[in-house]
Amino acid sequence: FEIISNIYTYILNYFKNSISIPFNPEKSDINTFSKSLDGIMNFLNDENVEIIEEVLNEFEFISDKIEKERVKATEERERKELEKERERNLKQTEESKINTEPIENETDEIIPMDERKYMIKLLKYEITGLEKVFNSIYDIKTDYPVYEAQRQLSKTFNILKKILSISRRINISKLGRLAEATYTFIKFVQSYRLDPFTDTIRQIFNYIIYNFKLITLDKPTKDYEEFVKHLNNPVTIFNKKEKH
């Protein structure tokens, strides 16, 4: 009776899969199921039971077809999800795009000392906020940490826009260039779905904050130009890493 139970269970699961995967049941499969029910009747009547073995072999063939449909459906679902993610990233890029047009007469205006001190305080506040976003990634505890980390990184865009705006106001071009380059690097990480938990990306985030703090304190930066160049062209970072 275990064979009979298995046949009924298989037929039930077949139609469940046809809904969940989904796929259209084929006429040949329905004929096989009909044959299996005839086989059960023969089995119960102690008649020709060879049909049962034949049906079970056909079930294996049907199982292979279902698995192919499952794989195809999974690939299609992932393709659609990737497409949606790409569209979200493009939209996010437009919404969060940093305006790189020069502000008229910004370099000619003399900023009062009190205002400059206030702006420096704002800069330090925004840089601390940026650092908190980077650090928050490594506290993520979910089933999909990379996805959640990518989502968290989107919080940096408004912060970088504010840093850029303040840097222009008080004429610290190195800060503005670093903000733009950081934005480019983070968008690269998101667009290519790189894992932010790798040592390389973590070190880069730390070095970004380190340079922001040095510039704000008017301290010399050792390899600023080289670092900004690589942030603006992230491929060079990972190509260099692979060679080593």
Q: Which residue has the higher pLDDT, 54 or 116?
A: 116
Q: What whole-number distance in Å separates Cα of residue 152 and Cα of residue 155?
A: 6
Estimate the crossing angle of helix 113-137 against helix 199-216, to 10 degrees: 170
Structure tokens at 221: 């930066």
Q: What is the pLDDT of residues 120-141, one digit of tens each?
A: 999 999 999 999 999 999 898 8
Judge contact between 163 and 127, C-beta under 8 A: yes
- Is 95 a residue whose pLDDT tops 80? no
Domain map of the chain by residue range? 2-75, 109-243
pLDDT over 70 for what percent of the chain?
Answer: 76
The amino acid sitting at 219 is K
Neighbours of 118 (CB within 10 A): 14
Q: What whole-number distance in Å separates Cα of residue 92 and Cα of residue 160?
A: 14
pTM of the predicted model over 0.75 = no
Give backbone dihedrals phi and psi of 200, rounded to 5 degrees, phi first: -60, -50
Neighbours of 174 (CB within 10 A): 17
Q: Of 134, 238, 228, which is closest to residue 181 (Cα–Cα)? A: 228
Q: What is the pLDDT of residues 137-155, one digit of tens each?
A: 989 888 888 888 988 999 9
Give backbone dihedrals phi and psi of 25, rounded to 5 degrees, phi first: -55, 135
Q: What whole-number distance in Å separates Cα of residue 122 and Cα of residue 232?
A: 25
Position of tokens 């490594």? 138
Q: What is the pLDDT of residues 159-212, one digit of tens each?
A: 999 999 999 888 899 999 999 999 999 999 988 889 999 999 999 999 999 999
CATH code linked to domain 109-243: 1.20.120
Judge contact between 170 and 116, C-beta under 8 A: yes
